Chain A
Amino acid sequence: MVEKKTAAGAGLVVFITLALLVLLFWLQPFDLINEVLDRAFGATPKWTDVSNLFTDPQTQELTHGERPEESLDRLAAYWSGRTGDRVVFIGNSQMHAMSLAPGEPPPAAPERTYTDLIPRKPENGPDYLIYRLSAGGMSYTEALWYAAYLMSRRELKPDVIVLQINYQAFWQAGIRDGMLGMLQVPAFRQRVEEMAHNNQPFSDTFQEALNHYAGLQAASAAGRDAATGEAAHHPGFGQAVEKATRRLLSKVPGFDQRHSIKDSFLETLYRGRLYFLRLAPSTPRSITGVRLIRSQAALEETARLCRDNGVRLILFHAPLNPEVKLYRTAEDRQAHYAFVRDLAARYNVPVWDLENSIPAKDWGRLLNGPDPLHMGRLAHHLMAKKMTDILAGRADSAN
């Protein structure tokens, strides 16, 4: 038998540990560190942070890629019985997020475009049904994923896809977990499987997504949390015990905050990158290698898919903050433009050039410098006006 005093000592250590853990949860130490760093390095005020805008669910996918199938089902119901040109904007957070001064109202560019287009509709002309399908940090494999999904569901098939071209988006990769639920649509899943076997540079990414989805499904069937799906192949009772434990723990107050601590910790690392290494999102870069090849192939496949399905594709070079020198060399910019131009020529796709359409003052600010992606409210209006003019056939910005 254990000596009582020593056992009590062990119990006390465990008790104090748990008490300190609760204290750390309450203190949110990484938030405190982040605040100290921001003050020390003179970060821009909080209100200049970009805001995600959840407005009209009939014209916008509200989850930003985290569960788009719900929004898309709602869209299918909304579009059914309505006639008109179905225009879907696909892009990254520039489409839905903006920097707002205190009290400033939305809307973002695509929604504003819709509002502006309505009065310009020719008499007896077709109506416009505009929808924004965007996700923060969207990759071109995800853009292809979206496009393939739209074309796999008759009720969602658009007439026009307007696809945003950002240089930095060519460095994004993968399919986020939130989009995997779209594979529940059999026609889409089949299309993805075909593309996964096509031996294209993005095929591995699609195969990974299929594998990951299968793992999650198996885990779900076995009663396991989706996040730990890998162990689903083991049919013992461990998974059920783990699930029950997690369910129990989720009732402990504050337990669900643990992932926000991770976010804060990652933000601390990000601040280290910004403040100490001076590596910001606006740092000029050359995009090369694997991700570029994969992104370019996915973009080309999107163009092919649109052509084969009779969907008109329009590309547009997204606005770029004049204060940001995003391309590391002039050759990087030339190569980027040449790729888009060549692709557009091969698939007979119009390209709008909005790169220099927004003046510097209308852009957002990041912690320690200009935001290369997110704009202010006025900029969204300007962008919407340009798009409206082009869509209504009144401008000749297309290259």
Chain B
Amino acid sequence: MQFNSYSYLLLLCLAVMLHWWLPVRLRRGYVLALSILFYASWNVAYLALPLGLALGAYFAAGRMLLVAVDERRGWLRAGIAFVLFTLFFFKYQHFFLDNLNALLVSLGRSPAGTGLALTLPLGISFYSFEAISYLIDVRQGRVKALNFTDLYLFLMFWPHLMAGPIVRFRELAPQLKFNRQFDLAMLLRGMDRLIWGLVQKNLLANSLGSFVDEGFLPGTAHAVTMVDSWFLALAFGLQIYFDFAAYSNMAIGSAQLVGITLPENFRFPYHAKNPSDFWARWHMTLSRWIRDYLFFPINAKFLGAPGPLYLSMLGIMGLVGLWHGAGWGFIVWGLMHGAYLVLYRMWEAVGESHPRLAQSKLVGAAIQAATLAAVTLAWIPFRASTGGQAITMLRMALFGFSPRVSFSINFYLITLLIAAFTVIEPYIGSAFEMLEKGIATRPRLLAANLFLWRPMLYACGLLLFLAFDEQDTKFIYFQF
């Protein structure tokens, strides 16, 4: 059941009403049942996997809690290994075997096998990382009590189950008591997010989808011009941003409707001032996970040793790419971002000895423009169907000097239109916030806001959602 499907939206209305009608003591069980039903609506067989992961994590956590914090490392490793093995088995098995077979064949040996034909369970990358974060929090003593329902509900809570935001146990578990008072303001904020997500998905992301699909057909990659390559990369960058931001908004909005606050996942990433800032704005909960559980521990080991640190950054970002999908294109995308981060870190080191240069507005603007270009370029291997296509398109983007274009004028115009919207998006957001604050200080306007202004915006958003509902409704990040 997609967030932007009619069935989800109608059932959500009913579910939210029932949630607030129920006594607090029944709400946990009710939300858990809803979450299980939501996941089963995709595939009943999938249910076994998060349950198995929860049981494994629960067992390892239980063992850790029996001993002192310093002695928990063994069970932490065992728990993480269990989660990673499950993830590897379902997500990376074929990628590993395909590459191993290619290597063996190139060495004149016979292939190792083809592996099991398994469907990738939706959301596995997300709830696996959440299970790992739970184990680390237990290891570090941040989680002190063991409760399977807490853990299972933390993993299964339907708004973040399929594609994040990637939540920490300690920030979600206290809220899962569902003892919050009904708050109309929070409900309205939830509706704001939900409806804006619907518009982002159906109107903005899907409008670019068909153009991007055609442009990335591999057979004619050699004929894609420089302008085409940049526009295709930009269009895909916008498509995936609005697609994923839409999902995140709908997830955050759905959670708010039942009184739960999920962390933000996007903060206008294409306004990033540098590569590091980009990752502070793009898929923020994944960045936070990587920073806290990978980067900081590794960084601590390499203090004062830039070489190993840079290598570790490249390696971590390669893993981030691999997390997105079992393919070399994703790894290359991650490595490109790793390289950008390393280059920026080097620049920061230069800036420390040349503060005037580092503070120059012109240099800042150049770095911002270069970041946008570099991020855009990296979408090519991420989206390309084959390595050959990615190389060809990257070569054309960088060296195939030609003003010529291949596609319908509408493709370029719609891409520019949506890019222009992306440029002004934060200012629109700020304008709405200012309006909200202004209304909050004028009680006479509260009723107008509640019963006129907001319903008008909602109706316009729903009109656009309904008008564009016929398009492909899958979310790109579901596959990760």
Contact = CB atoms under 8 A, between A and B. Distances in A.
B454 A245 contact: no
Contacts of A2: 20-21, 182
A258 B466 contact: yes
Nearest to B195: A17
Given A7-B20, A288-B225, A13 B6 contact: no
B404 A286 contact: yes
Contacts of B184: 6, 9-10
Interface string B250-282: 000000000000000000000000000000000
A236 B42 contact: yes
A148 interface: no
Given A242-B7, A261-B467, A262-B467, A289 B224 contact: yes
B446 to A, nearest CB: 11
Given A2-B21, A258-B467, A12 B41 contact: no
B280 to A, nearest CB: 32
A241 interface: yes
B104 interface: no
Nearest to A243: B7
A6 B220 contact: no
Contacts of B451: 12-13, 16
A24 B463 contact: yes
Nearest to A285: B409
B477 interface: no
Nearest to B452: A16
A169 to B, nearest CB: 12
B404 A245 contact: no
Contact of B408 (A16, A171, A201, A204): A171
B472 A289 contact: no
Nearest to B4: A228
A3 B219 contact: no
A227 B471 contact: yes
Contacts of A262: 467-468, 470
A284 to B, nearest CB: 12
Interface residues of B, number: 67
Contacts of B219: 199-204
A35 interface: no
A259 B474 contact: no
B41 A241 contact: yes
Nearest to A241: B7
A38 to B, nearest CB: 20
Contact of A235 (B43, B218, B406, B463): B43
Interface stretch (B49-57, B80-88, B131-139, B209-217): B209-217
A333 interface: no
A236 B45 CA distance: 9
B224 A290 contact: yes
A236 B44 contact: yes
Interface in A37-70: none
Interface in B345-395: none
A294 B220 contact: yes
Contacts of A6: 182-184
Interface string B176-216: 00000011100110010000000000000000000001110
Nearest to A203: B219
B220 A293 contact: yes
B100 interface: no
Contacts of B407: 173, 289-291
Contacts of B473: 228, 230-231
Nearest to B188: A13
Contacts of B220: 201, 204, 290, 293-294
A390 to B, nearest CB: 33
For A6, A238, A259, A292, which residue has the most chain B Cβ atoms within 10 angstroms?
A238
Contacts of B404: 286, 288-289
Contacts of B48: none
Contact of B470 (A171, A227, A241, A244): A227
A231 B459 CA distance: 27
Contacts of A1: 21, 23
B228 interface: yes
B223 A289 contact: yes
Nearest to B409: A279
A269 B207 CA distance: 13
Given A261-B463, A294-B220, A234 B42 contact: yes
Contact of A7 (B1, B182, B464): B182
A307 interface: no
A231 B474 CA distance: 7
B175 to A, nearest CB: 18
For B224, B454, B470, which residue has the most chain A Cβ atoms within 10 angstroms?
B470
A7 B20 CA distance: 9
A232 B13 CA distance: 25
Interface residues of A, number: 66
A25 B463 contact: yes
B40 interface: yes
B116 interface: no
A101 interface: no
Given A21-B462, A173-B214, A245-B10, A13 B406 contact: no
A273 B413 CA distance: 8
A229 B219 CA distance: 24
B40 A17 contact: no
Contacts of A286: 404
B456 interface: yes
For B122, B217, B225, which residue has the most chain A Cβ atoms within 10 angstroms?
B217
Nearest to A246: B6
Given A258-B466, A294-B220, A238 B182 contact: no
Given A236-B40, A246-B6, A13 B23 contact: no
A56 B219 CA distance: 40
Contacts of A265: 464, 467
A249 B452 CA distance: 26
Interface string A243-262: 01110010000000011011
A395 interface: no
A294 to B, nearest CB: 6
A289 B225 contact: yes
A208 interface: yes
Interface string A281-303: 00001101111111000000000
For B5, B119, B224, B467, which residue has the most chain A Cβ atoms within 10 angstroms?
B467
B150 interface: no
Contacts of A227: 470-471
Given A7-B20, A171-B408, A286-B404, A16 B1 contact: no
Nearest to B225: A289
Contact of A289 (B21, B405, B469): B405
B119 A233 contact: yes
B413 A291 contact: no
Contacts of A3: 182
Contacts of B42: 234, 236, 238
18 contacts: A7-B182, A10-B187, A16-B451, A17-B462, A21-B462, A24-B460, A25-B463, A201-B219, A228-B472, A228-B473, A231-B2, A261-B463, A261-B466, A285-B409, A289-B225, A289-B404, A290-B228, A291-B406
Closest 6 CB pairs of A and B: A289-B406, A238-B41, A20-B459, A204-B217, A238-B1, A262-B467
Given A2-B20, A245-B5, A289-B406, 11 more contacts: A13-B458, A19-B455, A21-B462, A23-B459, A234-B42, A234-B122, A258-B466, A261-B467, A262-B468, A286-B404, A289-B407
Interface of B: 1-2, 5-7, 10-11, 13, 20-21, 23, 40-44, 46, 119, 122, 182-184, 187-188, 191, 213-215, 217-220, 223-225, 228, 404-410, 413-414, 417, 450-452, 454-456, 458-460, 462-464, 466-474
